[in-house]
Structure 1
Amino acid sequence: MFEEIHRKMRGWLQYYSIGKLTNFIQRLDKWLRVRIRQYIWKQWKKFKTKVTNLQKLGLSQRDAYVFASTRKGYWRTAHSKTLSYSLTNRKLEQL
């Protein structure tokens, strides 16, 4: 997945001019981080897996249970503050 995103980014960067580049890269960076969080959340299919991984990321057991039982969709969950604070940009870079 990451290689495909990297390929597309290179193509987009070559397509857009330097003037539009800064704003485009910032929006693309934000979108990619949310997309990666969504992909990770989707991989944690089972409730128990979600709770375990959220606890590894620093959430308390109670908060992990509450958040793992959400009925929101993958994209909306990826935008949540809880997942953004748990899967920080620094942790995403380590992947």
Structure 2
Amino acid sequence: MQIAKELSTYLIGWRGYFGFCQTPSVLRVLDQWIRRRLRAVAWKQWKYGPARFAELRRRGVGRDLAAQTAGSPRGPWRLANSPALTIALPNGFFASLGLASVAARRPA
């Protein structure tokens, strides 16, 4: 995902500026929101039910869960928090794309 590379530049800057804030939970929530948004973007890019089903299956989601999720009438934002998309696009996937974490602690 090209968007992850572009976003990572900003996240590194935010981490440098806000890295020593007194409320690290805010940064963890921001990290969660960013990953959820990227899952929603991926869901939109897969476009239609059969393509969504195939992508979920290719990424290790079970047949029943993939079919249920691909046929869901829910929107991308709601489905981005679903178990199927969490399995298909885990946090490690975004790290492998080079997405920086805002909440990563720097050594003191």
TM-score bucket of the superposed structures, by smaller chain: 0.7 to 0.9
The residue aligned with 2:20 is 18
- Distance apart, 1:37 and its partner CA: 0.7
- Alpha carbon RMSD of aligned pairs, Å? 2.1
Give distance in 2, aligned partners of 1:52 and 1:14: 39
The residue aligned with 1:37 is 39
Structure 1 regions of 5+ residues with no counterpart? none
Paired residues, number: 95
The residue aligned with 1:86 is 88
- Distance apart, 1:30 and its partner CA: 0.8
- Distance apart, 1:44 and its partner CA: 0.4
Give distance in 1, aligned partners of 2:62 and 2:83: 15
Compare relative contact order (CA 8 Å, sep 6+) and give the higher one, 1 or 2: 2
- Distance apart, 1:19 and its partner CA: 2.7
The residue aligned with 1:76 is 78
Q: Which moved more, 1:28-37 or 1:2-11?
A: 2-11
Task: Write the deviation string for residues 52-82 of structure 1: whole angstroms up to 9, x where unpaired.
Answer: 1110111232322221011111110101122
Contact in 1 for aligned 2:53/2:70 (Cα 8 Å): yes
Q: 1:4 to 1:59 in 2, by over 3 A?
A: closer
Please show how residues 45-64 of structure 1 align to structure 2 within 5 Å: 45-64=47-66
Give distance in 2, aligned partners of 1:87 and 1:15: 28
Give distance in 2, aligned partners of 1:50 and 1:5: 24
Structure with the higher helix share, 1 or 2: 1
Identity of aligned residues (%): 29
